Amino acid sequence: MINDDDFQMNLLRCINDFRYVLETSDGDWTVKGFIDVAKNIYTISVKRDIDIC
């Protein structure tokens, strides 16, 4: 079983990978929402004053 510190480190690594793929050089997101397999739509709102890391 993974410990809390390893989980957090792996999660932050994944978030940085997603940010690299989903953000422009200005920090704007190129994806504005998701659609699941049941065709539900989920929008993403981004608050600029929150720092993930």
- Residue range 1-53, pLDDT digits in tens: 888 889 999 999 888 888 888 888 888 878 878 899 999 999 877 665 555 55
pLDDT at 16: 85
**pLDDT score, position 29:** 78
Q: Residue 34 has what pLDDT?
A: 85
The phi and psi torsions of 19 (rounded to 5 degrees) equal -60, -40
Reported pTM: 0.44
Q: What pLDDT score was predicted for residue 39?
A: 92
The two tokens of residue 48 are 């600029």
